[in-house]
Amino acid sequence: MTCKGICSRYKAQKPVGTGRYASGQRRCQICEIFINWEGLWCPCCGYRLRTKPRNLKYKAKLRARVEADAASLKAQTVEAPLVAAGTGAEAGVSSDFVKTTLETAVSEGWTKTKTVEELRKSEERITIKKARDLVKEAFEAKSEPIAIKA
């Protein structure tokens, strides 16, 4: 196939401060153009797009940038739980909220879904999985039979 001119709609400007491939641009060898396109194939001619540089020098630069981005992303994910945990006083207040919410849910007969939604509204930013586990424990404790001593 040949270039039909469709690719000119997706033509990418040269990025400042980074490389073309590092910024997500792809190159079509048939159309001889860099485009902003998420697919693997050129929307114009149907040929495969080049997603990585050809020469060793720019491949090394791209690899270094990707590794640096991955390291910074990992550092951000490690810092996030530490910030979310807060101090002991904040944790005590939020756990009181959780306890009262669970007690209210069990006593008033809320659905598990509604209880999870209420727990998610807390200042603590409880994850869905943690909220589901807490609700499951609370509702199982409610349904346990009471031992009667004779």
For 67-114, the pLDDT digits (tens) are 888 887 776 655 444 444 444 444 444 577 788 888 888 888 788 888
What average pLDDT does the structure give for the chain? Answer: 75
CA 92 to CA 88: how far, in whole Å? 6
Residue 23 has pLDDT above 70, yes or no: yes
- Count structural domains, the chain: 2
Range of the domain at 15: 1-51
pLDDT > 50? residue 125: yes
Please tell me the predicted confidence (pLDDT) of residue 96.
78
Tell me whether residue 62 is in a domain.
Answer: no
Q: Is the Cβ–Cβ distance between 43 and 10 less than 8 Å?
A: yes
Decide if pLDDT at 131 tops 70.
Answer: yes
Rounded Cα distance between 78 and 81, Å, is: 6
In-domain check, residue 68: no
**Taking 70 as the threshold, does the pLDDT of residue 141 lie above it?**
no
Strand, coil or helix: 91: helix
